[in-house]
Structure 1
Amino acid sequence: MDGSSSSPYWGLLLRQNVSVMLPIGGLLNATFGNATEMIISIYALKSNMIRVVQQSLLGSILSNMLLVLGCAFFTGGLAHYKKVQVFDKAAAVVNSGLLLMAVMGILFPAVLYFTHSEVHQGKSVLSLSRFSSCIMLLAYASYLFFQLRSQQNVYSPVGEGGENGENSDVEEDLELTQWEAIIWLAILTAWVSILSGYLVDAIQGASESLNMSVAFISVILLPIVGNAAEHASAIMFAVKDKLDITIGVAIGSSTQISMFVIPFCVVVGWCMGKEMDLNFQLFETATLFITVLVVAFMMQEGTSNYFKGLMLILCYLIVAASFFVHVDPKSGDD
């Protein structure tokens, strides 16, 4: 259920001034790419398909962090096998911290539910999820201020060649102006949003016709198709040795989904009277926790090579196989 089909156009925004537009470009990519996911999730919430919302958003995070980033590292490493590719470690560390905070917000409601240690049975998990979602939204807003205003110089791309060196090459590749690219992003986002209702309604039928679980379709198949554009963008910039933009595509989108889209859906469900919470069930929560740890360790050095990319891709294959044999427990089962 990933609506990131508008992602190829966001990179054109960066070609005007890479050193200035990197944080804004990454934010625009994540925002427009994930806007359709938010709309699809709201539509699914109205249809009371809470588990589909949870699984689709989880699948988008896993796909971006393992498959998209892994393919980018792998192809970039092969294209530049004679050297070690580097990226801004400070930005990667901040994103890893936010992802770990998101895991904390999702982990505690699941643990509270499965340990049967609620003060008010059936109500404490929901209350904790809503409180944690508000805190996560506040943290993400603070992160945006930190990234774009307070510490903007921290997120300058590694190895920029100065005002004349890099910008002169960038201006030659200019294809769209900033506002033209934003308008195209908005148009494509609106178009994909129109199709969101048909996508949600087709999930159950596809599960029965393909003889696959809804969990596997929501977590694995749909994000692979939906993230195809992000795949292309991340690989293209990795081959061009612009790993900071690649990190912004893959990890930046995962950060926004986990710290903004998921809490936002909880708050919207609260307003709609739907019991959308952060209890993603034990299996999904454990998968997300291990994935964040693996990616955080892969990025802690600020370097990339094809072997790291291969490891991330193989990890995603393990995750996919796990969900293929996983049966989602019915709502209310212990």
Structure 2
Amino acid sequence: MGNSNSLRIVGFNSPIEKGASEGKSMIELHDDSRSVPVSTTRNLATLKGGSENFGTNCVWRIVLASIKTAFFSDKINLLLPCGPLAMLVDQLTNRQGWVFILSLLGIIPLAERLGWATEQMAFYTGPTVGGLLNATFGNATELIISMHAMKQGMIRLVQQSLLGSILSNLLLVLGCALFSGGIANHNREQMFNRSNAGMSVGLLLMAVMGLLFPAVLHVTQTELHIGTSELALSRFTSCLMLVAYGIYIFFQLTNQKLEYMPTKEDGSPSGSPVEEESADVSKWESIIWLGLLTLFISVLSEYLVNAIEGAASAMGVPVAFISVILLPIVGNAAEHASAIMFAVKDKLDISLGVAIGSSTQISMFVTPLCVVVGWIIGRPMDLDFQLFETATLFMTVLVVAFILQEGTSNYFKGLMLLFCYMIVAASFFVHIDPEYTQENPENP
């Protein structure tokens, strides 16, 4: 960094020095015909204009280089024009199916670039805070979509999209990571830290407990106060889950041993979790990109949410399938790519940290946060995700817990998770949400 700064100083000063020398010679040449003060002022003005032009050109070069790095370094960015196209189609036509598809495709590269910007920021914050930022901004897409849906009173869409994000991370993302890592390292079983994975699975089971009891109360009709006890229990449980997650984060930040470290076959750490790499952009550039990408996702998410019901009717697909299967695939684009990349590089602990850590954050932070925000803005969102959805989550967490209990991985374990995700997807494709049908009888 010191060398680069010195180069910039030299590059910035050299035109001035050159201009100063030129100014001096001009004064000497024209000293007979013009007074020194006039020629000096003129040349100082020339110097000032030259330095301003150089500074402007330098800023533009930095901006263009940053844009090139952000949007022209990955083939997935070819989908970026889909976002403006979705807005254009929404304004000119009434084809909600096309608006939904184009919005969905447009958010994919934005979500991936948001993950990239977070990784760039991690170079300046350190691995622990960087991992927390990665998980937080990695779930920003789901949170933004949920907030837009909640403002419009689409509580079931919020619940199902959050549930789908957890299922997608645990089955699809983790399954692809284990399968890819097993294929790339087929000559041996991959190892990972069981204690770290076990803590995350424990938090997931706590989240399942928080969702299970309101659902059981609703099904058995055993509430003390019908219609209010379930909501009160959900809000109380959500506050406890937020506190538990806050303590978990504090525990992570103050205990370096809980960081996900690559391990050798004998279980010993193999060194630094991340290779010696350098950031593509500066710290302030990464902060600016985080803000801009979050804003772009927020704008496009509004079009996406508004088009969901019309798209479901146009395509003949249940809203539950769109909410649980299609939306999370978009939101988990960054996690999906990162988890596979680290697994192929035999850094399975980092892959588990990405996939399971994201699921933990959605279940223990994003979901209860939505309940609390709904409480504040007057939207009665609770933790009753209905019996079918809660049973799906319960079985998913159990399957993942049993697969990870040995601390080893191979491609067949990843394949089992992928098959489980196919079963879940098929189940929601034939599932009719009774509560949504009651609220929207014209859109079953």
Task: Give your verdict on TM over 0.5.
Answer: yes
Q: What are the residue-to-residue correspondences of 1:268-287 with 2, within 5 Å? A: 268-287=373-392
Q: 2:276 matched to 1:170?
A: yes
Quick check: 2:241–2:368 contact (8 Å CA) kept in 1? Answer: yes
Go from structure 1 to structure 2 and tell me whether the alpha carbon gap of 1:156 and 1:290 turns closer, same or farther (over 3 Å shift).
Answer: closer
Partner of 1:93: 198
Q: How far apart in 1 are the matches of 2:296 and 2:325?
A: 23
Q: CA deviation at 1:10?
A: 3.5
Q: How far apart in 1 are the matches of 2:411 and 2:237?
A: 37
Q: How far apart in 2 are the matches of 1:181 and 1:300?
A: 38
Q: What are the residue-to-residue correspondences of 1:1-334 with 2, within 5 Å? A: 4-5=111-112, 6-12=114-120, 21=127, 23-149=128-254, 151-159=255-263, 160-162=269-271, 169-171=275-277, 174-176=279-281, 180-330=285-435
User: Can you give the 5+ residue segments of structure 1 that lack an aligned partner in the other structure?
Assistant: none
Go from structure 1 to structure 2 and tell me whether the alpha carbon gap of 1:183 and 1:300 turns closer, same or farther (over 3 Å shift).
Answer: farther
User: Can you give the 5+ residue segments of structure 2 that lack an aligned partner in the other structure?
Assistant: 1-103, 264-268, 439-444
Q: How far apart in 2 are the matches of 1:178 and 1:146?
A: 27
Q: How far apart in 2 are the matches of 1:155 and 1:134?
A: 26
Could you say what the CA RMSD is over the residues aligned between the two structures, in angstroms? Answer: 2.2
Q: How far apart in 2 are the matches of 1:210 and 1:236?
A: 34
Q: How far apart in 1 are the matches of 2:271 and 2:350?
A: 17
Question: Comparing both chains, which one has the higher relative contact order based on Cα–Cα distances under 8 Å and sequence gaps of 6 or more?
Answer: 1
Q: CA deviation at 1:253?
A: 0.7
SS of the aligned residue for 2:276 comes to helix
Quick check: 1:32–1:186 contact (8 Å CA) kept in 2? Answer: no
SS of the aligned residue for 1:311 comes to helix
Q: How far apart in 1 are the matches of 2:193 and 2:395?
A: 23
* Greater Rg by CA: 2
Counterpart of 1:128, as a letter, is L
Quick check: 1:64–1:254 contact (8 Å CA) kept in 2? Answer: yes
Alpha-carbon displacement from aligned partner over 1:274-315 (angstroms, at most 9, x marks no partner): 110000000000000000111111112222110110000000
Q: How far apart in 2 are the matches of 1:178 and 1:319?
A: 41
Go from structure 1 to structure 2 and tell me whether the alpha carbon gap of 1:64 and 1:119 turns closer, same or farther (over 3 Å shift).
Answer: same
SS of the aligned residue for 1:225 comes to helix
Q: CA deviation at 1:325?
A: 0.4
Quick check: 1:136–1:263 contact (8 Å CA) kept in 2? Answer: yes
Q: CA deviation at 1:176?
A: 4.1
Q: CA deviation at 1:216?
A: 0.4
Counterpart of 2:259, as a letter, is Y
Go from structure 1 to structure 2 and tell me whether the alpha carbon gap of 1:31 and 1:46 turns closer, same or farther (over 3 Å shift).
Answer: same
Q: CA deviation at 1:12?
A: 4.4
Go from structure 1 to structure 2 and tell me whether the alpha carbon gap of 1:106 and 1:83 turns closer, same or farther (over 3 Å shift).
Answer: same
Quick check: 2:175–2:415 contact (8 Å CA) kept in 1? Answer: yes
Counterpart of 1:7, as a letter, is G
Alpha-carbon displacement from aligned partner over 1:40-80 (angstroms, at most 9, x marks no partner): 21221111100000000111110111001000100110000
Segment drifting more, 113-122 vs 4-13: 4-13
Query: TM-score scaled to structure 2, two decimals?
Result: 0.69
SS of the aligned residue for 1:315 comes to helix
Quick check: 1:33–1:189 contact (8 Å CA) kept in 2? Answer: no
Segment drifting more, 51-60 vs 38-47: 38-47
SS of the aligned residue for 2:379 comes to coil
Q: CA deviation at 1:245?
A: 1.7
Partner of 2:9: none
SS of the aligned residue for 2:330 comes to helix
Q: How far apart in 1 are the matches of 2:427 and 2:178?
A: 24
Quick check: 1:69–1:309 contact (8 Å CA) kept in 2? Answer: yes
Q: How far apart in 2 are the matches of 1:269 and 1:310?
A: 38
Q: How far apart in 2 are the matches of 1:181 and 1:242?
A: 25
Q: How far apart in 1 are the matches of 2:420 and 2:283?
A: 37
Go from structure 1 to structure 2 and tell me whether the alpha carbon gap of 1:124 and 1:36 turns closer, same or farther (over 3 Å shift).
Answer: same
Alpha-carbon displacement from aligned partner over 1:104-161 (angstroms, at most 9, x marks no partner): 0000000011011000011110000000000000000000001111x22232503354
Quick check: 2:262–2:270 contact (8 Å CA) kept in 1? Answer: no
Partner of 2:23: none
Q: CA deviation at 1:162?
A: 4.5
Alpha-carbon displacement from aligned partner over 1:213-259 (angstroms, at most 9, x marks no partner): 10000101121233233211111111111112211211111100000
Query: TM-score scaled to structure 1, two decimals?
Result: 0.91
Counterpart of 1:250, as a letter, is A
